[in-house]
Structure 1
């Protein structure tokens, strides 16, 4: 098979703010800091994309491979976000619940899309949590206190604390570097944080 020798003209790529806004749409976030944590690129780098109207092709390919989003939509603003001829199963993506923990309040932020292969390799990743500028994964099925960092609720407040079970049915919760004995009935474990 012989390929045509016609010149391939460059496409009219939409970088800068358009590209960043599409990335935020893909990951259902409204702030660049949230996006920065998800794609692993600094806020300063995204400011450069915006100021110089740059198109970060490596990030586009990475997001496409991880989420199945259409490159044509992401880079050119053409067509649908996802190829409508593919089902969610065919595009190898799944959604995880996404929440933000701030000032003792857990706020639902919708869902984030992840590659099913990534989730198959990390079945304990059941929820995505934004906390103090970091993106964490929570195993919401792991609510039995043994030892580790847990997402807990007590007295109407949600927080992340180190919890330890010691012999004698005793639970210790770490507050600012101090271990305090607590009754297991006083706290509700929402899940264990993954490293």
Structure 2
């Protein structure tokens, strides 16, 4: 799980900075743990996920910065009423089925098996979370990093699913803001904006959208509707997916992606846009 790959020394230093403390004793008090826990984490080079969750939600620092040190230490959410111990208790009180439901929603899954297959977790383990009302903090942190959803929403069910923090300025003056959607179970769900380098955009940027899937993402020109060979965002019975399209004689087409390969009539599908750029994860 997540704990196995963390640099405990670096993360503890960032947690200390987030709380504004300089000693292990003060840090232990901030995290509400015994004083000798900090030295034990350092010796084992392993830090509990609960400490990470508590720090992020208590101090509102960036989760990516805290875990990976990649982003600026900036608060992204407005202060809320719950802090410290009361916030920690609130997190633990939302375990079991509610937090599992939010994890599934973040990934766009309908079944527990899909989550288990993705994270290599047995169905029995996931069922135990529900039965014991357990809070799977390591999975919550991994899900937040993987999907970009709000950690506060994922852990407590409060606030927005996505923080909605817009980029106020861009280091690249030619960057374009493109409307972003998440492709979840055949539905397109609004997910803020995606910044695109203008050099990668087609000649006309009108109608461009960015569609994010589980292991790939696509820049789609929704103004192109006339079906031709290529990669398309297609609706079949009001269910969206990305397909590679080959026109065939007799008003037919062949549709192919990683999950399907079939022929049908052009009249059976609704083209919703031509894919102009594909981004894929290789993990």
Match of 1:134 among 203, 216, 220: 216
What does residue range 47-62 of structure 1 map to in structure 2 within 5 Å? none
Distance 2:235 2:270 in 1: 5
Which residue of structure 2 aligns with residue 187 of structure 1? 269
Which residue of structure 1 aligns with residue 145 of structure 2? 32
Q: Once the 2 structures are TM-superposed, how far is the Cα of residue 34 of structure 1 from its aligned partner?
A: 4.8
Write 1 or 2 for the structure with the bigger share of strand. 1
| Structure 1 portions without partners, runs of 5+ | 1-11, 24-29, 36-62, 67-90
Match of 1:123 among 203, 225, 250: 203
TM-score (norm 1): 0.50
Which residue of structure 2 aligns with residue 159 of structure 1? 241
SS of the equivalent of 1:168 reads coil
Q: Once the 2 structures are TM-superposed, how far is the Cα of residue 147 of structure 1 from its aligned partner?
A: 1.3
Which residue of structure 2 aligns with residue 65 of structure 1? 171
- The answer as to whether partners of 2:202 and 2:276 remain within 8 angstroms in 1 is no
Q: Once the 2 structures are TM-superposed, how far is the Cα of residue 163 of structure 1 from its aligned partner?
A: 1.7
Match of 1:19 among 55, 58, 72: 72
Alignment: residue pair count: 125
Distance 2:183 2:73 in 1: 24
SS of the equivalent of 1:19 reads coil
- Which deviations, in whole Å up to 9, do the C-alpha atoms of 1:61-113 show, x marking residues without a partner? xx9423xxxxxxxxxxxxxxxxxxxxxxxx54432110011211111112223
What does residue range 160-175 of structure 1 map to in structure 2 within 5 Å? 160-174=242-256
CA RMSD of aligned residues (A): 3.6
Which residue of structure 1 aligns with residue 45 of structure 2? none
Q: Once the 2 structures are TM-superposed, how far is the Cα of residue 177 of structure 1 from its aligned partner?
A: 5.3
Write 1 or 2 for the structure with the bigger share of helix. 2
- The answer as to whether partners of 1:145 and 1:164 remain within 8 angstroms in 2 is no
Q: Which structure has more RCO (C-alpha within 8 Å, separation ≥ 6)?
A: 1
Moved over 4 A (4+): 20-23
Q: Once the 2 structures are TM-superposed, how far is the Cα of residue 122 of structure 1 from its aligned partner?
A: 3.4
- Cα distance change, pair 129–31 in 1 and its aligned pair in 2 (3 A): farther
Q: Once the 2 structures are TM-superposed, how far is the Cα of residue 151 of structure 1 from its aligned partner?
A: 0.8
- Cα distance change, pair 192–20 in 1 and its aligned pair in 2 (3 A): farther
Q: Once the 2 structures are TM-superposed, how far is the Cα of residue 114 of structure 1 from its aligned partner?
A: 3.3
- The answer as to whether partners of 1:124 and 1:138 remain within 8 angstroms in 2 is no
Distance 2:250 2:270 in 1: 20
- Cα distance change, pair 151–124 in 1 and its aligned pair in 2 (3 A): farther
